[in-house]
Amino acid sequence: MERKEKMPLWVFLGLMSIETRKGALVLLWSCILFGIACIPMMFYFSEWVDWTWVAMMAVISIWYWMCIRWVDANTGW
């Protein structure tokens, strides 16, 4: 994605290598599914019981979701 003149830096950095809305949604859903998959893995590998991966995937998913919404509302794909 090329940067438009009124596009914030955080949106550009989040979507800079993604050209289409479909690609952005695939990235968003893969982050969500990976975060969900991390939950049972934490209990399966009991020595690694840590919520770090789930928390990181939640934050990244929210960031991508906000980027997609900003582009939809302001500049379009």
> Residue 65 domain-assigned?
yes
Inside any domain, residue 60 = yes
10: in domain: no
Q: Does the pLDDT of residue 75 top 90, yes or no?
A: no
Q: What pTM was estimated for this model as a whole?
A: 0.83
53 found inside a domain? yes
Q: Is the pLDDT of residue 68 over 80?
A: yes
The pLDDT assigned to 49 comes to 63
- Asked if residue 3 is part of any domain, the answer here is no
**Structural domain count, the chain:** 1
Question: For residue 51, is it within any domain?
Answer: yes
Is there a domain that residue 13 lies in? Answer: no
Would 2 be classed as within a structural domain? no
**pLDDT for 29:** 97
How confident is the model over 9-59, as pLDDT tens digits? 999 999 999 999 999 999 999 999 998 988 887 777 766 667 788 889 999
CA 54, CA 48: separation in Å to the nearest integer?
Answer: 13
Domain region containing 64: 18-74
